[in-house]
Amino acid sequence: MAVTADAVKAKAAEVGFDLCGIALADQHPKLARLTEWIAQGRAGEMEYLAASAQERLDVRHSLRSATSVISVAVLYNTDRPYSAEGLGAGQVAVSRYAWGDDYHGVLRTRLRALLQWLSDTAGPGLEAFTCVDDGPVQERVYAEAAGLGWIGKNTCLINPGVGSWLFLGEVVTNLELEPDIPGVDQCGTCTRCLDACPTEAIVAPYELDAAKCLSYLTIEVRGAVEESLRPAIREQVYGCDICQDVCPWNRRAATSTTPAWQPRDEFRAPRLVDLCRMSDDAWVTALKGSAMKRAGLHRLRRSLAYSAAGLPPAERTMALDALRAQPSARASVVADAIIWAGTRP
């Protein structure tokens, strides 16, 4: 039985995807930007990007017979205020995508269901693999090519109907499916994301220096953060949503009631001191099934210490004493961060 693009989209919606489009498995022009971006040092410590560059430049290096990329998206925005709208005294922000359950597992389950349907419907001869954002596919390029939106000046995929709070996934396949019309850039003259970035990581429209981005600094950097960048880790203690918070396309962004994306109690507008007071065991429990596991306990404690440096003296002392009291403080990256924060003017 022939599989049609319309049937794929209908099934994608049925298994829980909010958006679905088709792109050709071609070398789209924007894919080639990756090589120069890495050469400029924009990837920082993310060496896996260079190691998988060949696959990222052309999905046919991963699946030689690939002709189509089915791009899907899930909305994770919940009906809660954005961090850029103002946090209360002593409050800090955890990136919205990490409030609930780890999206990798949720999306993989839905992708498996879609792939099983493709296998059952297409029959023998189907070749395909699925991918979430930890695989060698430049997902935003294919999502734009598949008409799911456009890559904005903040380098996030923006959909004109639902905004940019989207998890992306793909099915790369040898099925010949009718491609969609690519998304059209609608950022216009707006520069709010560039103007709002606290570390000037968006160095130019559509160009992100990941090595300066707070998301990279609080999640990807394994050791100590460069000292000149530590003061920027204030309210944003895990990830950063500022460039999306200020985006006009997110003023009326759609929201999801999916239980998996609702914030856990620990991350519902938390106070920094309270996060510091959480025991190591409590953190381990809170991180179960969470995307925040990527950073791990020591990196999280390190970032909390950097953030505590910006507190008033009395609160800073309480926060650092709480961090110092836990076994994780014996890790050099945490201990050094506590010492640095305690000596700040």
Amino acid at the residue 335: A
133 is catalytic: yes
Cβ–Cβ contacts within 10 Å for residue 184, how many?
Answer: 10
State how far the Cα of 300 lies from the Cα of 276, in Å rounded to an integer: 10
The confidence score (pLDDT) of residue 88 equals 83
The confidence score (pLDDT) of residue 58 equals 92
pLDDT in tens, 244-268: 999 999 999 999 999 999 999 999 8
The confidence score (pLDDT) of residue 268 equals 85
pLDDT over 90 percentage in the chain: 86
The residue annotated as part of the active site, out of 58, 133, 280, 336, is 133
Task: Evaluate whether 111 touches 130 at the Cβ level (below 8 Å).
Answer: yes
In this structure, what DSSP letter does residue 91 have?
B
Is residue 50's pLDDT more than 90? Answer: no
Helix (H, G, I), strand (E, B) or coil at 230: helix
- Return phi, psi of residue 171, to 5°: -120, 115
- What is this structure's pTM? 0.94
270 alpha-carbon distance from chain centroid:
20
The mean pLDDT value for 187-209 works out to 97
Greatest alpha-carbon span in the chain: 70
| Residue appearing with tokens 């962004």 | 253
Is residue 84's pLDDT more than 80? Answer: no
Nearest to 17 by CA among 182, 176, 99, 132: 132
The confidence score (pLDDT) of residue 1 equals 59
Residue 67, Cβ density class (10 Å: 0-12 exposed, 13-18 middle, ≥19 buried): middle
Cβ–Cβ contacts within 10 Å for residue 160, how many?
Answer: 11
Residue 228 CA: distances (Å) to CA of 39, 42, 50, 143: 23, 17, 26, 35
pLDDT in tens, 92-106: 999 999 999 999 999
Residue 63 CA: distances (Å) to CA of 56, 68, 128, 139, 154: 12, 11, 7, 16, 30
The mean pLDDT value for 269-290 works out to 95
